[in-house]
Structure 1
Amino acid sequence: MAVALAAVTTLALSACGGGSTGTSDAGASGSGAAASGTYTVWDPYPQFDDSSDWVKLLQKCGTDNGVTVKRTGYDTTDLTNKALLAAQQGTSPDVILIDNPVISTLADAGALTDTQTLGLDTSAFEKNLIAAGEVDGKTYGVPIGANTLSLYYNKAVLDAAGVDPASVKDWASLTAALEKVKAAGKKGITFSAIGTEEGSFQFLPWFWGSGADLTKLDSSQGVAALSLWKDWLDKGYAPNSVLNNTQTTSWQEFATGDYAFSENGTWQLGNAKKTGFEWGVIPIPAENGGVAPAPTGGEFAAAPVQTDTARYATTSKLISCLTSPDNALATDTTLSYIGATQAVQEKQAADPELKPWVEAVQGAKGRTSDNLGTKYPKISEQLWDAVQAALSGSKTPQQAMSDAQTAAASATS
């Protein structure tokens, strides 16, 4: 578990964030709490206080099941560390809302209870989303919603360049659009290629969209994806600032109104409405056409292991309440998530602003899918290092990916 604690620090939140750290009476989740009917919940949403719809839902789910919910919100990275320490000390909460790529780390550390043991029905959840919680044939928790990446565009910039966003169908047509935008005196595309999980998160649609696989970083497809980004920088279609851009600073560049495109996520919808210019969203294209698989962000509702297994029955009811279609729709709206079930997605798709995001999530993929589990953080670190090396010019895309594959194979063997 100490090893898991060290490894998990590389998995910074890629899709959404929280604020300041809170505190919790971790002991409330022990067997003594069962008699008082108190169940503890930890989540990564410290920005929501007791007056928020999210906390009211938690409290209602508790009341509906005859218990009191004691909730604490933590910063995402802090939450993961505390979850591992609590498992070590036997002071885990009853329910935890945790960033989906961390599920495999907690499960591998023996800190989570699988859904079969809980008696939790997972059949309604979309397979590509719940796959992020599958480890060695068992499922640990269920998604409360998901977010992912697409391309925002500035209509005025594209109009000035004579580009119809609907014409962007593959890498070639996107690059041609960027060429026209630059020729028109505007800026092309901004994204995050920073040397953290955010950089890997943003590179994955292009990597997967080439047909590449995370177990072979140096395939011709993977090299092609990295070469695409490198060519954009060399030709001035993307700024050198992408090397240090987080998803937030990348968005701030797009919000200036100078850029044609921004690779960013569902969580920027509110900010998009504040830009003051007309914008839209299109899927990230795969190399040869179609929608590229983008990585899923968002949290899973999971149950940490408890000494008093009698608590699991109520824990399962609490998780079912939080993820039921009616409650999930309200929660996903609050968190700017797309639903994890078909029922919620169908309701959201009726909103023109959400429809392209529903389609993107339907084609998305979990970072720890393909049974990568705890191997993913080690591979991801080598991937973002390769992106940094190639874009900075210290290595060719081929050399960067070859070195990354060698390091990743060593780290995961």
Structure 2
Amino acid sequence: MQHRCASTTGGAPGRAPARPGRPVSRRAVTAAGLLAPLAALLAGCGADQGSTSPRTLRVLDTYTNDPDRTVIGGALDAAAKKVGVTLERVSVAGDSLIQRVLQQGSSGTLPDILMLDNPDLQQIAATTALRPFDEVGVPTDGYTEGVTSAGTYDGRVYGLAPTVNTIALFYDVRALDEAGVAPPTTWSELREAAGALTRGSRYGLAFCGNATYEGTWQYLPFFWSNGADERDIATPEAAAGLDLLAGTVADGHASTSVLNWSQADVKDQFVAGRAAMMVNGPWQIPELESVEGLEYAVVTLPVRDPAGQRPVAPLGGEVWTVPATGDRSKERLAGRVLAEFLSDESLVSMAAKRSTVPGRPALIEPFLERRPEMAAFADLVRGARARTAELGAEWPATATALYTAVQLAVSGQATAQDALAEAQEYV
């Protein structure tokens, strides 16, 4: 994800942050001069931001398009009103956010409230550019393990995602009915279904296997659900998941174009009737619901052995943070705004309007009363895993290795096992 992806972020138009993100490298952070000197720099930078009122807070995010821009803006304004402050909000393109944050950090002009794609948080927190939530009064209890992990650096929470997303299997109900195919629950059923559904110009399955973090994001459920571990990617467990994806292409049941498709492209193939099933995220739902005559449903992604495995999906979504500006009064006000922004009512409302899932399990049932079609995603989110949970700030190198392996195996340049072994050498 991402997405949107939140990489981020990967692919939905107008929702860049929701796709799986493109985390900044440690080299880039160091080059920006942030690692050691930032704490000292920020200690005296509060006065540099005196152009705004003491009760005006600056906000930076990447929600440039609706509905996200309006939904998030409304929730932020409501929270600010309760605290008694005003907001000056700037939204920038997702692919420019990190460079802007690095520049602002080195010049002492960070905003008071900052949104980051969740895989970026640990690397930015490592620069001392963020305040831990226990210092600014933001409650951190009640979130899923994945959400908490995504917002944690060195044992302290620096950010939280109000709503989150992941990926699942969408299918064309009419196509499966006509072929007499049930929604697959196992890898073998997925491969068989892809074959039975491939006819004429329509492939059975579409997924994103491109050379970006989107390609990694879409491989991760098959990687993690089969017991693979990012600390050693060249294992039989990892190879089996990659062989499943590569096999659908080799069989002619998925297009070789998956090597170049974004998640938005995958959605376009599904909408056009050129794919009967697709791997994708809930940010596509608003557009799918607007397509006349399209009847679709969503199920969790299949696992190799349902008797001993459950789907483990990657966690997508954006975390909200309080930068270390050096103005402790404003930092506390920013914490109060985020505490209101992350209230129960606010989370459920944002999730329902944005086709995402609340980050707190206690809110999922009331959310599903408003959005029952999100049930598969809600189920996956409960156990979704943060991409940085295992490797922290070192995740980007492995993410790159994984999408490199996907490219090698799906293109037929190497077996899945050899592709992962080759990619592992660069981690």
TM, length-normalised to structure 2: 0.86
Deviation of the 1:291 alpha carbon: 3.7
2:299 is the counterpart of 1:282 = yes
Deviation of the 1:43 alpha carbon: 1.2
Deviation of the 1:238 alpha carbon: 0.9
2:419 is the counterpart of 1:400 = yes
Name the aligned partner's letter for residue 369 of structure 1. Answer: A
| Structure 1 residue corresponding to 2:185, chosen from 166, 169, 192 | 169
What are the within-5 Å matches in structure 2 for residues 27-66 of structure 1? 30=48, 32=50, 35-48=53-66, 52-66=70-84
Deviation of the 1:361 alpha carbon: 1.1
Summarize deviations over 1:175-195 as a string: whole Å, max 9, x none.
Answer: 222222237985210010000
2:217 is the counterpart of 1:198 = no
Describe the SS at the equivalent of 1:304: coil
In 2, distance between residues paired with 1:69 and 1:183? 54
Name the aligned partner's letter for residue 160 of structure 1. Answer: E
2:355 is the counterpart of 1:336 = yes
2:74 is the counterpart of 1:78 = no
Deviation of the 1:333 alpha carbon: 2.5
Contact 1:29 1:91 in 2 (8 A): no
2:64 is the counterpart of 1:68 = no
In 1, distance between residues paired with 2:13 and 2:276? 26
| Structure 2 residue corresponding to 1:245, chosen from 241, 261, 277 | 261
Describe the SS at the equivalent of 2:426: helix
Summarize deviations over 1:149-190 as a string: whole Å, max 9, x none.
Answer: 00000011111211122xx22111212222222379852100
Name the aligned partner's letter for residue 205 of structure 1. Answer: P
In structure 2, relative to structure 1, the CA distance for the partners of 1:50 and 1:183 (3 Å cut) is: closer
Partner of 1:233: 249
| Structure 2 residue corresponding to 1:381, chosen from 359, 376, 400 | 400
Describe the SS at the equivalent of 1:407: coil
Partner of 2:372: 352
Q: How many residues align?
A: 389
Deviation of the 1:292 alpha carbon: 1.7
Partner of 1:362: 382
Aligned identity (percent) is 29
In 2, distance between residues paired with 1:394 and 1:173? 26
Structure 2: give runs of 5+ residues left out of the alignment: 1-6, 17-44
In structure 2, relative to structure 1, the CA distance for the partners of 1:301 and 1:15 (3 Å cut) is: farther
2:116 is the counterpart of 1:120 = no
In 2, distance between residues paired with 1:44 and 1:291? 33
Summarize deviations over 1:179-235 as a string: whole Å, max 9, x none.
Answer: 222379852100100000110011111111211011111011011111111111111
Contact 2:202 2:273 in 1 (8 A): no
Deviation of the 1:19 alpha carbon: 7.7
In 2, distance between residues paired with 1:324 and 1:113? 20
Contact 2:71 2:354 in 1 (8 A): no
In 1, distance between residues paired with 2:58 and 2:165? 26
Name the aligned partner's letter for residue 392 of structure 1. Answer: S
Partner of 1:8: none
Name the aligned partner's letter for residue 145 of structure 1. Answer: T
Describe the SS at the equivalent of 1:353: helix
Partner of 1:209: 225
Describe the SS at the equivalent of 1:348: helix
Summarize deviations over 1:279-326 as a string: whole Å, max 9, x none.
Answer: 100001222125421111111111111212232221111111111111
TM, length-normalised to structure 1: 0.89
Contact 1:28 1:40 in 2 (8 A): no
Summarize deviations over 1:216-262 as a string: whole Å, max 9, x none.
Answer: 11011011111111111111111111000000011101111242211
Deviates more, 1:254-263 or 1:241-250: 254-263
Describe the SS at the equivalent of 2:392: coil
In 2, distance between residues paired with 1:315 and 1:402? 46
In 2, distance between residues paired with 1:15 and 1:49? 16
| Structure 2 residue corresponding to 1:148, chosen from 166, 172, 182 | 166
Deviates more, 1:145-154 or 1:175-184: 175-184
Summarize deviations over 1:33-92 as a string: whole Å, max 9, x none.
Answer: 675311011111012599934323322222221211111111112122211211111101
In 2, distance between residues paired with 1:334 and 1:237? 35
2:10 is the counterpart of 1:14 = yes
